[in-house]
Structures are given as structure tokens and as C-alpha cells.
């Protein structure tokens, strides 16, 4: 078994010597898990990146003048896509690991800590979340940024995404509680022209909103008015806190009003009625599951609604949600969903002669990559190793202690791997993690900023 250190310092130096827009990188001899239904898995395959784009996948590619990365003994796979995380909370991560109801979370975080956040705290939390995401193989992150108290808070959150080099989706919402400038949603037009003017850039903008007025009143609740704002700007909508009967009623209203569709993502979607699911399937709405959030915090039925989504033809994306109480990475989401769905499937037919309908490791990797991209409105851009898409990819060491010997690449990614096995992360063709380290981060300086922000937030009385 020939295993090479694919991502040595010398190769990185050579990569960085070349102009990024014309650079060619040829990965050779890898197990390529494309997640493209037409391309499947290639054993001993090559992958060519030119500038920011994947231009070829296949056996023994030739590419004159390319930097060659010997990827023997590794798996190449698309970067993971997080469809919903509240990134600004990262300096509060695991502050309430045993929270067991939504009200407890809301009162401590959204009605408490959130109210004292300054723009720099938004920047530090969002940057920390994005860097951690990159380290664990998430190349696209939808930041459901629901603490936009002023224009400057929004700017700080967007700039934090930009400064990490992640493929960021900034989904903007005003805060739930406390004093704020009431600049949202009107300020979305300014944000769009300031940060999101190109159709071919790393960052995209969405409107973030809640399903009902139950948590924070009518101003933040999705309806015809907010749908009009989003459609006039040509941006998608991400709706959080979609659960239970009130949300089910809302879904039926939205369907009637014509404001459901592929550009609308419903997050969680736990405890919805069959009628609501039929309406979502009919409208082609996308769904962002939050497997650990639903189960651990106990949102409505606490069951991640993957079977309900699949039964109406919706293949969902996966999401991390809040680091205050949950894990930060996609491996945890994939494994949680895989185990929970199978438990539910078998439990549902136990003692009968019916057969359980189980999802597979391929299904959950599809949800974590290609379906996540589709959910975030980026299906043509990322989520699979398809020639023509942007080069957002992971190099996973398949012959590390915990992965050797490589017997099944998808099983190895979904059930065996974790962040330590990711030797390299490329986003838009640019190395962001190399030789096991996130690049261009002064960890000591970052730690100082994170601690200072955490101290300020914890020690300032809520307003």
C-alpha cells in the first residue's frame, strides 16, 4: 500500500507561487467520491482544478504545467454544506450543554447575551465558527445571522465570512429582543449592493425569518411582505423555528399565497402535519434538518423529519444550528441522522412482519453535500466533484490509524472519519487547510480575541 503525504509544505509553497486564477492543480491516484450521480466513485482517480474550478475527473489525466499532488491513500470528496448555523454565538459554544427546552435557550441567548453584542463580537463569533467549519471540512456555511442590531452588526458578520475564505451564505435577520435600529429588512438592499453585487463570488445573501410570531412577534415572521422584499432583491429565504401545528398552519397559508418554492428553505420542520408536508413537496420547498438540535434540545416531536421529507420527494440538507449546546461539525450530524432514522425505522415495524425502510450512508453523505448545496441555492456551484463546479473539496486520509484499511470510501467518510483525517480543504480552488492545519490563522491572537469577547458578553448586563 503506497501512501503519500499529499499535502506537504513544499507543495503548498509551489501552489502559492503561482497566480491563483491561472493555477492548475492535479490530484492523482485518489479514491474520488464525486457525489455526482452520473460519475459515482472512482478508484485510483485523478482530479484537475484550474483556477477556482474543477475541470476534469477521471483516470490518469494529463495536465501540462500543473502542480501535481500525489493523493494515493486518500479520499477526495466534496466539502460539506451546512444549511443553518447561528455563527455569532460561537464564543458561547457549549455554554449550556444540557439545555432541554427551546425556552431555556431563547431566554439565555436571544433575550440575554444577544442584547449586549457589539459589532466586534459578531465578527469574532462568526469568524470563529467559519474557521472551525473549514477545519472540519465544511466549505459552505449558511450563517443564519439573527442578531443584526445595527448596520454595523451586519457588516461585521459579512466581513467575518469574507475574511475566512469560506463559501458563506449570509442570511440576515433582526434580533428577537431588546433595543435595535429596526434597519432590517430595509438594510438588505444596502448589504446586497455593498457585499453581494457579483453573481460569481464566494458570498451570497439570503433573507432569514421565523415561521410564526410565537417567539418574537409578527415583525420577524415570514409572510407576503418579507417574501416581496426577498423577491425584489432576487435572494432566497431561510425560515427557522418551523415546527408544530402553528407552523403547519403557516405552511398552508404560504402555499396558498404562492410564497413557498425552491428558493425557500424550511429549517427543522419537526412535528408538521401531513398536509403541510404535501404542500411543501408540491411547492418544491427545500428543507434543512438539524438532527442533533431536534433530538437533543427536544424540538416539538424531537424527531429529525427525514422520512417525512423523503415521502414527499424532498431530499433535505443538514445543519449544525447552535454551538451553545451542540457539536460544531458535520460528521456528528451525519452519524446522528443515520442512527436516529434507522432506530425509528426498525422501531416502527418491530413485532410485525413489515420491513423497515432504512436510509444509507450514501443518503446522508448526499444530504451533507449535494442536497445541502441545493438547499442553499448553490446546486450549480458546489456540493459535488462535477467538472464545471467550483473546486470546494476535501482530502481525507484513508490510511490513518482510525481509517485503515480502506474498504468502503463512503462508509469511511460517514462512519469513520473526523476533522483530524482531513489533511486539506480547498474552497474556490484556494487551499484553506493544508497538512492538517487551517491556514492563515494566528491561533494565539484569535484565542485572545475570543476570550476577551466572551468575557465582555458574559459580564455585561442584558438590556
- Region binding Zn ion by CB under 5 A among candidate stretches 167-175, 237-245, 281-289, 395-403: 237-245
Write down how long the chain is: 463
CB of 320 to Zn ion, least distance (A): 9
Nearer to Zn ion, 297 or 457 (CB): 297
Footprint of Zn ion on 312-331 (CB under 5 A): 321
CB of 98 to Zn ion, least distance (A): 19
Size of the site for Zn ion (CB under 5 A): 2
Nearer to Zn ion, 240 or 430 (CB): 240
Half-sphere exposure of 139 (CA within 13 A, CB side): 31
CB of 453 to Zn ion, least distance (A): 21
Q: Which three cell numbers stand for residue 52?
A: 477556482
Q: With beta carbons less than 8 A apart as the criterion, state whether 45 and 31 touch.
A: yes
Question: Is 240 an interacting residue with respect to Zn ion (CB under 5 A)?
Answer: yes
Q: With beta carbons less than 8 A apart as the criterion, state whether 177 and 111 touch.
A: yes
Residue spans of beta strands (DSSP E) within 211-306:
236-243, 264-270, 286-289
Nearer to Zn ion, 263 or 323 (CB): 323
- Paired with 38 in beta bridges are none
Nearer to Zn ion, 148 or 361 (CB): 148
CA distances from 235 to 29, 199, 430 (A): 40, 11, 26
Q: Which residue of the chain is nearest Zn ion when measured via CB?
A: 240
Nearer to Zn ion, 34 or 83 (CB): 83
CB of 89 to Zn ion, least distance (A): 10
Question: Is 82 an interacting residue with respect to Zn ion (CB under 5 A)?
Answer: no
Nearer to Zn ion, 146 or 389 (CB): 146
Nearer to Zn ion, 217 or 448 (CB): 217
DSSP secondary structure string for all residues of 324-377: TTS--SHHHHHHHHHHHHHHHHHHHHTTSSPPP----HHHHHHHHTHHHHHHTT
Q: For residue 457, which of 324, 327, 325, 329 has the smallest C-alpha distance? A: 324
Question: Is 294 an interacting residue with respect to Zn ion (CB under 5 A)?
Answer: no
CB of 319 to Zn ion, least distance (A): 8
- Region binding Zn ion by CB under 5 A among candidate stretches 236-244, 341-349, 351-359, 402-410: 236-244
CB of 267 to Zn ion, least distance (A): 6
Q: In which residue are the cell numbers 466539502 written?
A: 79
CB of 84 to Zn ion, least distance (A): 6
Nearer to Zn ion, 240 or 323 (CB): 240
Q: Report d(CA 252, CA 273) in Å as an integer.
A: 10
Q: Report d(CA 103, CA 125) in Å as an integer.
A: 22
CB of 463 to Zn ion, least distance (A): 23
Q: Which three cell numbers stand for residue 457?
A: 458578553
Q: For residue 406, which of 96, 63, 90, 31 has the smallest C-alpha distance? A: 31
Nearer to Zn ion, 46 or 240 (CB): 240
Q: Report d(CA 246, CA 272) in Å as an integer.
A: 9
CB of 73 to Zn ion, least distance (A): 38
Q: Report d(CA 57, CA 283) in Å as an integer.
A: 34
Nearer to Zn ion, 292 or 421 (CB): 292
CB of 160 to Zn ion, least distance (A): 18
- Region binding Zn ion by CB under 5 A among candidate stretches 14-22, 131-139, 232-240, 440-448: 232-240
**Residues lying near Zn ion in the complex (CB under 5 A):** 240, 321
Amino acid at each position: 500500500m503506497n501512501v503519500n503525504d499529499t499535502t506537504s509544505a513544499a507543495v503548498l509553497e509551489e501552489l502559492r507561487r503561482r497566480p491563483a486564477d491561472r493555477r492548475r492543480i492535479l490530484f492523482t491516484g485518489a479514491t474520488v467520491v464525486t457525489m455526482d450521480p452520473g460519475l459515482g466513485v472512482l478508484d485510483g482517480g485523478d482530479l484537475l482544478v484550474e483556477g477556482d474550478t474543477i475541470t476534469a475527473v477521471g483516470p490518469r489525466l494529463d495536465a501540462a504545467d500543473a502542480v501535481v499532488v500525489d493523493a494515493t491513500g486518500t479520499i477526495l470528496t466534496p466539502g460539506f454544506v451546512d444549511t443553518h448555523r447561528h455563527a455569532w454565538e460561537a464564543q458561547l459554544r457549549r455554554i449550556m450543554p444540557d439545555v432541554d427546552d427551546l425556552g431555556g435557550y431563547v431566554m439565555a441567548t436571544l433575550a440575554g447575551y444577544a442584547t449586549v453584542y457589539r459589532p466586534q463580537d459578531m465578527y469574532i463569533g462568526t469568524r470563529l465558527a467559519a474557521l472551525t467549519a473549514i477545519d472540519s471540512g465544511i466549505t459552505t456555511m449558511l450563517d443564519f445571522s439573527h442578531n443584526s442590531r445595527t448596520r454595523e452588526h451586519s457588516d461585521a458578520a459579512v466581513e467575518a465570512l469574507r475574511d475566512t475564505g469560506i463559501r458563506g451564505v449570509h442570511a440576515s435577520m433582526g434580533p428577537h429582543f431588546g433595543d435595535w435600529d429596526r434597519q432590517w429588512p430595509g438594510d438588505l438592499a444596502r448589504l446586497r449592493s455593498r457585499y453581494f453585487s457579483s453573481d460569481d463570488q464566494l458570498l451570497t445573501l439570503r433573507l432569514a425569518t421565523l415561521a410564526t410570531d410565537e417567539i418574537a412577534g409578527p415583525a420577524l415572521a415570514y409572510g407576503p411582505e418579507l417574501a416581496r422584499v426577498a423577491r425584489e432583491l432576487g435572494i432566497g429565504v431561510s425560515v427557522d423555528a418551523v415546527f408544530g401545528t402553528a407552523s403547519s398552519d403557516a405552511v398552508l397559508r404560504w402555499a396558498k399565497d404562492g410564497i413557498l418554492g425552491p428558493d425557500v428553505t424550511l429549517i427543522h420542520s419537526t412535528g408538521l402535519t401531513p398536509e403541510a408536508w404535501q404542500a411543501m413537496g408540491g411547492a418544491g420547498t427545500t428543507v434543512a434538518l438539524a438532527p442533533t438540535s431536534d433530538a437533543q434540545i427536544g424540538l416539538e416531536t424531537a424527531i429529525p423529519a427525514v422520512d417525512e421529507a423523503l415521502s414527499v420527494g424532498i431530499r433535505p440538507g443538514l445543519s449544525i444550528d447552535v454551538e451553545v449546546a451542540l457539536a460544531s461539525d458535520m460528521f456528528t450530524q451525519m452519524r446522528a441522522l443515520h442512527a436516529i432514522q434507522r432506530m425509528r425505522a426498525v422501531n416502527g415495524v418491530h413485532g410485525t412482519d413489515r420491513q423497515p425502510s432504512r436510509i444509507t450512508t450514501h443518503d446522508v453523505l448526499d444530504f451533507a453535500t449535494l442536497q445541502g448545496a441545493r438547499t442553499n441555492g448553490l446546486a450549480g456551484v458546489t456540493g459535488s466533484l462535477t467538472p464545471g463546479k467550483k473546486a470546494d473539496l476535501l482530502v481525507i486520509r484513508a490510511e490513518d490509524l482510525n481509517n485503515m484499511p480502506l474498504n468502503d470510501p463512503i462508509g469511511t467518510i460517514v462512519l469513520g472519519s473526523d476533522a483530524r483525517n482531513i489533511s486539506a480543504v480547498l474552497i474556490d480552488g484556494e487551499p484553506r487547510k493544508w497538512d492538517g492545519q487551517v491556514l492563515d490563522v494566528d491561533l494565539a491572537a484569535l484565542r485572545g480575541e475570543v476570550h476577551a469577547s466572551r468575557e465582555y458578553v458574559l459580564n455585561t448586563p442584558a438590556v
